[in-house]
Amino acid sequence: MEQCIFCRILRHEAPASLVYEDNQCIAFMDINQPNPYKVLVIPREHIETLFDLTDAQGEAMMRATLRVARAIRAVSGCDGLNVFQNNGITAGQEVLHFHIHLLPRFASDGTPWRNPRPTSRDELDSMATALRVALANSDD
Ligand code: 5GP
Ligand code: ZN
């Protein structure tokens, strides 16, 4: 999967602000931040859809998603957080490498967040650093 941007990120051929990694998956800041602290979690293997995951890969993805979600909450103070994936070519995906979106939606008082603006690499890096610190301070 030479051309897959997420495989290129995994090979360190394309930039990404890394949030989390283990032997099965990684998480990094989405280049588009409709709300701050939006993160993508991906398997290290080029798997296209949810249905192609093995049980072990699914468990690893869910574990990573849960840990990163806790860190996003600790750092951003968000309440609502959407966890979703778009499946397959008919979903109009830009990248056909399975990815779980973690999108914080609401402040702790229930106010919806909406922040559609360009985000610089420096901003992505500083959000990623804050999340990595929170992950390092967690007990899992
Ligand atoms: P989907 O295709 O499921 O809507 O989402 C693809 C996601 O990957 C989008 O949220 C898009 O912003 C993100 N994305 C696409 N290209 C890159 C990239 O080069 N780097 C990063 N960090 N995210 C990307
Ligand atoms: Zn890929």
**Looking at residues 122-139, what average pLDDT do you find?**
95
Q: Which domain holds residue 35?
A: 5-106+116-136
CA distance 135 to 140: 8
Compute CA 69 distance to the chain's CA centroid, rounded to the nearest angstrom. 9
Count of domains forming the chain = 1
- State the catalytic residues: 99
Cβ of 94 closer than 6 Å to ligand 1, yes or no, is yes
With respect to residue 111, please indicate whether it lies within any of the assigned structural domains.
no
CA 128 to centroid of ligand 2, rounded, Å: 21
Let me know if residue 66 belongs to a domain: yes
pLDDT of residue 42: 98
Q: What is the CATH number of the domain that holds 127?
A: 3.30.428.10
Q: Is 96's C-beta closer than 6 angstroms to any atom of ligand 1?
A: no
Residues with CB in 5 Å of ion ligand 2 = 1, 4, 6-7, 46, 97
Name the pLDDT band for 24 (thresholds 50, 70, 90).
very high
Residue 48 belongs to some domain of the structure: yes
Q: Considering the entire predicted model, what is its pTM?
A: 0.94
Q: What is the pLDDT of residue 67?
A: 97
Q: Does some domain include residue 101?
A: yes
Residue 88 is which amino acid? Answer: G
| Residue 6 CB less than 6 A away from ligand 1 | no
Q: What is the pLDDT of residues 119-130, one digit of tens each?
A: 899 999 999 999
DSSP codes of every residue in 15-58: ---EEEE-SSEEEEE-SS-SSTT-EEEEESS---SGGG--HHHH
